[in-house]
Amino acid sequence: MSTLFDSNRLGDLTLPNRVVMAPMSRVRATADGLATPSMATYYAQRATAGLIVTEGVQPSLIGQSNPGTPGLHTDGQVDAWRPVTAAVHANGGRIFAQIMHGGRVSHPDTTGMQPVGPSAVPATGDVFTPAGPRPAPVPRALDTGEVPEHTRSYAEAARRAVDAGFDGVELHGANGYLISQFLSSNANLRTDRYGGSSANRIRFAVEATAATVDAVGGARTGIRLSPGGTFWGVAETEVPELYTALLTELARLEVAYVHLEATIDEHVLLGLRRAWPGTLIVNPTLPMGPKQTGRADADHWLGQGADLISFGRAYIANPDLVERLRLALPVAPVDEATFYQGGDAGYLTYSTYQHAN
């Protein structure tokens, strides 16, 4: 069995270990979606990961979910990302940008526009706005003719990401955002070619991925999925069939990897592992759930056939997480109050492990 510290080939990259820094929103960008010098430091501090996947990056203004998140839809945003990727590469790392279209999980107070989605069905719960949490609004259902504009937005952002120095991109197809909304059976009530059957509900995900592969190549394209997840009120029927059909289409596109979250029973995930012939990243614990991913979780999933393991919250407080895992050193606790507060506290203030003299 491979260990967490063995190298692994991913597309055109050789990863020195199988530890992936999972995407996590930290809302430290400027009001106009520019990456900052602090963000360059933050990611560079964690460059010993086999692969870094950034926080969600909006591919368009209407695709922005939360205030304070970075974008990849203007030339200024591309320029702002270049010092980030350069800092990671200077420290020996590899970094993919996660492209995240929020769909219905947004608010006019954030973007100045009514959110869009597959159907006029609001998300469950409050969304973040510049003035604080607000009830999720009813989105405008996309016309059939508008859908390709939004699939292309992922590809256009991917081109900008490569121009900014990223090694590749990960499409955010999980956690109740736009791709996930199209996969859903309660957020997607469409009766056209994008709704109804599993073949139709996967169409948006496949078209967005295909456009991205055409733009930057399969070796630079991954996708994150949350089978059976219920984030923001989405629900999915026939989960094994839905995701097996999706993975079959993704395999034809020869993408670099699929990144699965543990949002459904393990036996279903193992079935999806068998259905997916390529590189698999597994996030072994429920995002924002009660438990953080640890070494035992990683070893378990490597034994079950995963190729890479993603760690989320543990990476916030442990920039040297790879070495802490390698040497069985204590993993520092994270201060959840600083997740989204902005500023450098709880962002750049976590140190590497201090060995006793």
Q: Does residue 103 contact residue 139 with C-beta atoms inside 8 Å?
A: yes
Burial class of residue 321, CB neighbours in 10 A (0-12, 13-18, 19+): buried
The total number of residues shown for the chain amounts to: 357
Q: Which of 179, 221, 186, 225 is nearest to 202 (CA)?
A: 179
Instruction: Give the pLDDT score at 293.
Output: 87
Cα torsion 250, 253, 259, 262 to 10°: value is 10
**pLDDT tens, position by position, 183-198:** 999 999 999 999 999 9
Question: Which helix (DSSP H) or strand (DSSP E) does residue 257 occupy?
Answer: strand 257-261
User: Could you write out the DSSP letters of every residue in 36-80?
Assistant: -HHHHHHHHHTTTSSEEEEEEEBSSSTT--STT--BSSSHHHHHH
Catalytic machinery residues: 177
In contact, 57 and 99? CB cutoff 8 Å: yes
Quickly tell me which residue has 């973040």 as its tokens.
Answer: 128
* CA 150 from centre of chain: 17
Q: Give me the pLDDT at residue 357, please.
A: 61
C-alpha distance from residue 66 to each of 74, 202, 288, 338 (Å): 18, 25, 17, 16
Q: What is the pLDDT of residue 288?
A: 67
Dihedrals phi, psi of 282, to nearest 5 degrees:
-120, 130
DSSP result, 22-44: -------S-TT----HHHHHHHH
Phi, psi of 288 (to 5 degrees): 65, 15
pLDDT of residue 2: 82
What local confidence, expressed as pLDDT, does residue 251 receive?
98
What's the CATH number for 8-338?
Answer: 3.20.20.70
What's phi and psi for 290, nearest 5 deg? -75, -15
Residue 219 DSSP code: G
Number of H helices, E strands in the chain: 12, 14
String of DSSP letters for 143-170: PGGGHHHHHHHHHHHHHHHHHTT-SEEE
Q: Which residues in the chain land under pLDDT 70?
A: 288-290, 356-357
Contact (Cβ atoms closer than 8 angstroms) between residue 262 and residue 283: yes
What pLDDT sits at residue 189? 98
Amino acid at 268: V
